[in-house]
Amino acid sequence: MNTKQIIIQELEETPEVVLVEVLDFLRFLKAKEDKADVEDACAALEEAAVAGTISLHDFKRELGL
């Protein structure tokens, strides 16, 4: 049995009042992950701004493509 199946089995045996809290926690975890993705993207953009970028054409030429 995989993790998802175990969670589903546990959820089926859980009272509604606890399920509301589980749902809130799951949404919190997903939002936290999304925020980390946005922060990573912003850091990459900042790094590109500092280090500079080149066009795809120039990059291919440097690689000999």
- Whose tokens are 């949404």? That residue is 27
User: In degrees, to the nearest 5, what angle opens at C-alpha 43 toward C-alphas 33 and 26?
Assistant: 5
pLDDT of 49 higher than 90: no
Q: Average per-residue pLDDT in the chain?
A: 89
pLDDT value of residue 45: 82
Compute the average pLDDT of residues 39-50.
84
How far apart (Å, rounded) are the C-alpha atoms in residues 41 and 12? 38
User: Looking at the predicted structure, is the pLDDT value of residue 31 above 90?
Assistant: no
Residue 13 pLDDT > 90, yes or no? yes
Between 12 and 55, residue with greater pLDDT = 12
Taking 90 as the threshold, does the pLDDT of residue 10 lie above it?
yes
SS3 5: helix
Nearest to 34 by CA among 26, 45, 23: 26
Residue type, 29: L
